[in-house]
Amino acid sequence: MAVVSATITGKHRTSSSVRRRRPGVPVVLDQGGAKCFVRLEGEVNITLAVELKTVLLQALASGKELLVDLERATEVDVTALQLITALDRAARRSGIRVALAGRVPAEILTDVVDGGFGEFPISTEPGVKGG
């Protein structure tokens, strides 16, 4: 299964290995399977905003069901929340389903609720418990 990862320099790398998390790459796009995964790791803040937008647009262009994985994220700031909100809207318009792939760390969820978002901009994939 091919893993395409967008690094912060925007370069695309191809690996022939099976799905594998590349340590230290904060934004990873994995669209090799039936679903398209966007994995975010560490501090997802303004320093990654431009790259995250690029990756989300690529994910959307794949036309596949989108899953956003935040399990390994330690921080999600307003830039990321805006992008995820915009992704959700765009996906709905195109009839694409978008959901969270796993649990959202409790600290992030607290920030999101206190930040006036009520809950995370996209809902959790059925069968996965949030927080």
Q: Which residues bind another protein (CB under 8 A)?
A: 43, 45-47, 49-50, 52-53, 56-57, 60, 74-75, 77-79, 81-83, 85-90, 92, 107, 111-112, 114-119, 121-122
By CB atoms closer than 10 A (0-12, 13-18, 19+), residue 64 is middle
CA distance 72 to 95: 28
Q: Smallest distance, Å, CB 118 to another protein?
A: 3
Nearer to another protein, 2 or 61 (CB): 61
Q: Smallest distance, Å, CB 76 to another protein?
A: 8
Q: Smallest distance, Å, CB 1 to another protein?
A: 26
